[in-house]
Structure 1
């Protein structure tokens, strides 16, 4: 199990890095950086929205 987790936590980041470098070679580093920033902002917004929704559900079930 530990070996599988080790592979998971090494292969996925390496694949992500490879995809970013590949995409950067197709477009430009600036476009790739913009894509990373935009997806980071969208991910943070989604996490905040889903976290608030989950917190409300927890509070409703406690009352």
Structure 2
């Protein structure tokens, strides 16, 4: 697991820098910098508005006496997406936007649910309920 995190934290930035250099070759350095700044601002705004909507939904579900499972997964996706959108780079921005936007975020939440379900069924993770 540690090796996978190491690869993620070294390979992704190298690929991102390479892509940004290629964009700068095709356009200009200033256009590339503007692209990074604009996607950061737009991403932060989207993450904030989606996050507020999810928090409102979580509060509503809690007030109705329900456990907000789906909304917690949505919140996790928006949080990760917001972090990726604030990270300079094109690949992280694309991934971040797909995590923040509701239509594509549903794909991630379904994937997380299937992953958690398989971990519970295989015994890789245990879930205990207290009363």
How far is 1:41 from its partner? 0.9
Alpha-carbon deviations, 1:25-53, whole Å to 9, x = none? 11101111111111111110111011101
**Alignment-derived partner of residue 20 in structure 2:** 20
Gaps of 5+ in 1: none
Name the CA distance, whole Å, in 2 between partners of 1:54 and 1:14: 34
**Alignment-derived partner of residue 44 in structure 1:** 44
TM score, norm. by length of structure 2? 0.46
Gaps of 5+ in 2: 64-131
How far is 1:9 from its partner? 1.2
Q: Which has the higher helix share?
A: 1
**Alignment-derived partner of residue 57 in structure 2:** 57
How far is 1:13 from its partner? 1.2
Extract structure 1 runs of 4+ deviating beyond 4 A.
none
Name the CA distance, whole Å, in 1 between partners of 2:22 and 2:16: 10
Name the CA distance, whole Å, in 2 between partners of 1:60 and 1:13: 39
SS in 2 for 1:3: helix
User: Structure 1 residue 3 and structure 2 residue 21: aligned?
Assistant: no
How far is 1:2 from its partner? 0.7
